[in-house]
Amino acid sequence: MSETRKPSFSRRDFLRGAGALGASGALLGATMGQARGHEGRHGGHGDQHGMGGGRMSGGHSMGAGSGNTTEGNVDTSRFDPMKFLRDFDYGETRREGGRTLREWEITAEDVEIEVAPGLIYPAWAYNGQVPGPTLRATEGDRLRIAFKNNSSHPHTIHFHGFHPANMDGVFEVVGPGQEFVYEFDAEPAGMHLYHCHSSPLRKHIEKGLYGAFVIDPKEGRPAADEMVLVMNGFDTNFDAANEVYAINTAAFHYQKNPIEIKKGELIRAYVVNVLEFDFINSIHLHANFFDYYPTGTRNPRNGKIEPSEFTDTKMFAQGERGIMEFRYDFPGMFMFHAHVSEFAELGWMSFFDVKSST
Amino acid sequence: MRREGRGPAWVLMGLLPLLGLGVVLALIVLNGAGVSRSDVPPAEELTVQGVTMPTENEFVVEVRNGGPAPVTLSQVIVNDGIQNFEAEPSKTIPRLGTAKITIPYSWVQAEAYEIALVSNTGVTFDAEVEAAALTPGFSGETLFGYALIGFYVGIVPVALGLLWYPFLRRLGTAGMNAMLALTIGLLLFLVVDTLGEAVEVAGDLPEVLSGIALVILVTLMTVLALLSTDRLFRRLRGGAQSGGRLETSYRISFGIGLHNLGEGLAIGAAFALGESALGAFLVIGFTLHNITEGVGIAAPILKEKRPRLAHFVWLALLAGSPAILGTLLGGFAYSPLAATVFLAVGAGAILQVIYEVGKIVLKDSGPDEAPSLPAALSSPNLLGLTAGIAIMYATGLLV
């Protein structure tokens, strides 16, 4: 990375202070003032790029303000965040020993992913995608995950949930070319995650080895339009800070391609924060409130699945996740984004396009 | 020794090493040099040449690719916010190529901005705006404004300094010698100052352009070139030893002119980039600083018959007007490369003038016009030299 360089004239730097003392800039002040007026007449160049949100209710690629968005579009043939959004992988399912067995084959691979249009990041990925596939099962199912490491580095899969020590994906490091089969019961019901637990841990997570892991309660949840929101970010210049933030990897993707939902329909969003470097992340829903189920688990006091909070903004620590349920009663375009404004402006900015069911 | 002919065989002999070189290069291009590291990506290097704000709604960043491979920009981040942008002529900047990146952004007057250009591999290149302010556009008024600054910091002080001529003529021999020594002092300060500035600007250049080497070598070549013109002039004059001291004054004027060009470039660029607060204080500082330059120009001709008045006008214009050119170039077409070369040429020109004036001091101070170093280092002369440096240093504090 190149240093910041700019023309500077140290001898004249003195001026900046001196001029600020208020010496009357009669000569230049007048001249420059005229220039300002002149330019001001055809100002507003930015408006060509900025989108007047209110005026363009149906428009594509709406910006949060003047030009605060990415340039170009990501190649969705490599990874389509819109497809990933509602893509739940239930695995190869069969009955075994009187109960449901779900089997998955997961590989770890070194792949290049597009984290913003034209911005290629050398990722480590489960099944070649970041986030990895959303694995979904029902409470009590037997899960068998055959893991093959096709990457050049040792990896594991560490699932959040209940399982024996040797299934924890910590001590049984799977070297390049090696395989390991994880087998355990799906417990407890809730919204979980899985990620690599090889050392150095932060590197293995920030490189993209993570995914959502949903365990439905036996009794199920009410019918809804379900989606997965993985809050992530990428350190593209390896300075231990994220350059871009996103929901499901591609910065600003759901801003440029709003998520269509139906007016009045129950929406259930499985949300997880897998951000590295930053301690917290958050999600804020516009013009609405949501029922929030922390970790999507049961209330320990009464064993019922009930929300802990009714709010429009929720903060997430690293690895924290939960389920949001809401309905939109008005059609139109609604923002949802990190209320950490910096993350929002660096890509964690999305839209719901609420359609009237006609 | 037999002198061999220069037939076709001779031409072939001259071409032989080149042919060999061609074969080796072809082999390397085709087969690699055996030392390539395909696992290591080529280092990307973009140098930010400047950030301007032509309107209240945009930043324009100019960059040059100083790295070994083309660089493709993917995104632009302004103060931790991704912003869309346009790149002219292209998002892909070839080796040594430049691009103008226009970012729509409603910046706030006088606030600081950090712009990160993100390449397609995720490398970031930072550009800084210390205090956002409108960059003066190209118009009749701004043109006049810049020219006026150049006039105030260039022509006015030199002309005023030359007005000391009648006063200085009555100083007497020792006094006049001391004035010449003072001139050397002024010039010494100027050459060090100019070189310092050249090196500073050269630091803004991509490494591949070898900024520091450029400064040293351009300075050296300028000295040599000016020394050789001395011989050229002598031949034109029909072998006369010296073209008279008026010619020395013109040379000083020329050298100072080049220095003032560099100074103008710096002032113009500083204004254009919004790095200096606008104010009459700057103009006053430079006027005071440069007034001594007129004294320096007048010093060699103190003992001569007074030249025609027109000569004084020409001397003032030669030394002062390049400042106008400088402020205009710096304000509207600033290029660190051109500025580096201009400043180095200026340094070389002043060095050559120091040599010329030094010769005069040696000659004038010695008994019977015989050059004498001990005589030249007399107390009044040393005092003059020190005073010259001190004056420049003191007035330099004003700018």
Residue-by-residue DSSP string for B229-260: HHHHHHHHTTS-S---HHHHHHHHHHHHHHHH
Q: Is the pTM of this model over 0.90?
A: no
Q: Do B276 and A16 touch (CB under 8 A)?
A: yes
Q: Is B298 found in the same domain as B194?
A: yes
**In which band, very low, low, confident or very high, does the pLDDT at B272 lie, cut at 50, 70 and 90?**
low
Q: Is residue A67 part of a domain?
A: no
Give chain B's domain count.
2
A contacts of B50 (beta carbons < 8 Å): 6-7
B76, containing H or E segment: strand B71-78
Q: Do B145 and A243 touch (CB under 8 A)?
A: no
A3-7, A180-184, A265-269, B119-123: which range is least confident on average?
Answer: A3-7
Top pLDDT among A240 and A50 is at A240
Confidence (pLDDT) at B241: 54
**In which band, very low, low, confident or very high, does the pLDDT at A8 lie, cut at 50, 70 and 90?**
very low
Q: Do B277 and A20 touch (CB under 8 A)?
A: yes
Cα–Cα distance, B156 to B142 (Å, whole number): 20
Q: Do A66 and B193 touch (CB under 8 A)?
A: no
Domain boundary among B79, B101, B129: B129
Q: Is residue B82 part of a domain?
A: yes
Over residues B11-27, the mean pLDDT reads: 90
Calculate the average pLDDT of chain B: 83
Domain boundary among B98, B129, B160: B129
Secondary structure, 3-state, B324-383: HHHHHHHHHCCCHHHHHHHHHHHHHHHHHHHHHHHHHHHHHHCHHHCCCHHHHCCHHHHH
Flag whether pLDDT at A2 surpasses 50.
no
- In this structure, the number of other CB atoms found within 10 A of the CB of residue B288 comes to 19
**In which band, very low, low, confident or very high, does the pLDDT at B275 lie, cut at 50, 70 and 90?**
low
Confidence (pLDDT) at A285: 97
Q: Is B109 found in the same domain as B146?
A: no
Flag whether pLDDT at B333 surpasses 80.
no
Closest Cα partner for A230 from A215, A211, A250? A211
Q: Is B285 found in the same domain as B252?
A: yes
Over residues B243-247, the mean pLDDT reads: 76
Q: Is residue B217 part of a domain?
A: yes
A269, containing H or E segment: strand A267-273
Most A CBs within 10 Å, among B47, B72, B84, B151, to test the A interface: B84
Cα–Cα distance, B265 to B281 (Å, whole number): 18
Please name the residues between 273 and 292 in chain B that touch chain A, using a CB distance below 8 Å: 273, 275-283, 285
Q: Which residue of B has its CA nearest to A74?
A: B74
A contacts of B118 (beta carbons < 8 Å): 116, 119, 236-237, 243
Q: Is residue B92 part of a domain?
A: yes
Nearest CA distance, B15 vs chain A (angstrom): 41
Q: Is residue A72 part of a domain?
A: no
Q: Is B216 found in the same domain as B108?
A: no
Q: Do B84 and A9 touch (CB under 8 A)?
A: no
Give chain A's domain count.
1
Could you tell me the strand order of the sheet in which A267-273 lies? Answer: A244-247, A225-234, A267-273, A321-326, A290-294, A309-311
Confidence (pLDDT) at A346: 96
Over residues B152-176, the mean pLDDT reads: 86
Cβ B296 vs Cβ B249: under 8 Å: no
Q: Do A24 and B280 touch (CB under 8 A)?
A: yes
Q: Is B228 found in the same domain as B125?
A: no
Q: Is B214 found in the same domain as B113?
A: no
Q: Is B90 found in the same domain as B164?
A: no
Residue % of chain B over a pLDDT of 90: 24
Q: Is residue A55 part of a domain?
A: no
Cα–Cα distance, B73 to A70 (Å, whole number): 12
Confidence (pLDDT) at B254: 85
Over residues B114-127, the mean pLDDT reads: 93
Q: Which among B104, B278, B339 has the least Cβ separation from residue A19? A: B278
Q: Is B255 found in the same domain as B282?
A: yes
A contacts of B76 (beta carbons < 8 Å): 71
Domain boundary among B110, B129, B148: B129
Confidence (pLDDT) at B274: 58
Burial A22-44 (b: 16+ CB within 10 A, else e): ebebebbeebbebbbebbeeebe
Calculate the average pLDDT of chain A: 85
A13-17, A133-137, B19-23: which range is least confident on average?
Answer: A13-17
Q: Is B172 found in the same domain as B122?
A: no
Q: Is residue A35 part of a domain?
A: no
Please name the residues between 210 and 249 in chain B that touch chain A, using a CB distance below 8 Å: none
Q: Which among A32, A68, A237 has the least Cβ separation from residue B124? A: A237
Q: What is the CATH number of the domain that holds B62?
A: 2.60.40.10
For the ranges A176-190, B16-30, B132-146, the one whose mean pLDDT is highest: A176-190
- In this structure, the number of other CB atoms found within 10 A of the CB of residue B144 comes to 13
Flag whether pLDDT at B369 surpasses 90.
no
Flag whether pLDDT at B66 surpasses 50.
yes
Structural domain of residue B347, as residue ranges? 140-396
Q: Do A8 and B275 touch (CB under 8 A)?
A: yes
Nearest CA distance, A44 vs chain B (angstrom): 6
Top pLDDT among A76 and B267 is at A76
**In which band, very low, low, confident or very high, does the pLDDT at A47 lie, cut at 50, 70 and 90?**
very low
Residue % of chain A over a pLDDT of 70: 81
Q: Is B322 found in the same domain as B199?
A: yes
Q: Is residue A33 part of a domain?
A: no
Residue % of chain B over a pLDDT of 70: 89
Top pLDDT among A7 and B390 is at B390
Flag whether pLDDT at A321 surpasses 90.
yes
Cα–Cα distance, A154 to B169 (Å, whole number): 87
Structural domain of residue A191, as residue ranges? 81-355
Q: Is B266 found in the same domain as B298?
A: yes
Q: Is residue B26 part of a domain?
A: no
Cα–Cα distance, A205 to A213 (Å, whole number): 15
Instruction: Name the burial class of residue B169, with classes exposed (0-12), middle (13-18) and buried (19+) by CB atoms within 10 angstroms of its CB.
Output: middle
Over residues A151-160, the mean pLDDT reads: 97
Q: Is residue A23 part of a domain?
A: no
Q: Do B144 and A31 touch (CB under 8 A)?
A: yes
**In which band, very low, low, confident or very high, does the pLDDT at B281 lie, cut at 50, 70 and 90?**
low
Q: Is residue B135 part of a domain?
A: no
Confidence (pLDDT) at A165: 95
Q: What is the CATH number of the domain that holds A285?
A: 2.60.40.420
Cβ A337 vs Cβ A290: under 8 Å: no
For the ranges A257-261, B313-317, B337-341, the one whose mean pLDDT is highest: A257-261
Q: Which among A10, A11, A121 has the least Cβ separation from residue B122? A: A121
Q: Which among B127, B267, B273 has the least Cβ separation from residue A4? A: B127
Q: Is residue A41 part of a domain?
A: no
A contacts of B272 (beta carbons < 8 Å): none
Flag whether pLDDT at A49 surpasses 90.
no
Touching check for B29 and chain A: CB below 8 Å?
no
Q: Is B272 found in the same domain as B345?
A: yes
Q: Which among B118, B193, B336 has the least Cβ separation from residue A243? A: B118
Collapsed DSSP state (helix, strand, coil) of residue A137: strand
Confidence (pLDDT) at A71: 87
**Model ipTM?**
0.76
Q: Which among A11, A13, A23 has the least Cβ separation from residue B280? A: A23
Across the A:B interface, residue pairs with CB atoms under 8 Å apart total 241
Flag whether pLDDT at B392 surpasses 50.
yes
Q: Is residue B152 part of a domain?
A: yes
Cα–Cα distance, B275 to B77 (Å, whole number): 22
Q: Is residue A253 part of a domain?
A: yes
Nearest CA distance, A297 vs chain B (angstrom): 36
Flag whether pLDDT at B85 surpasses 90.
yes
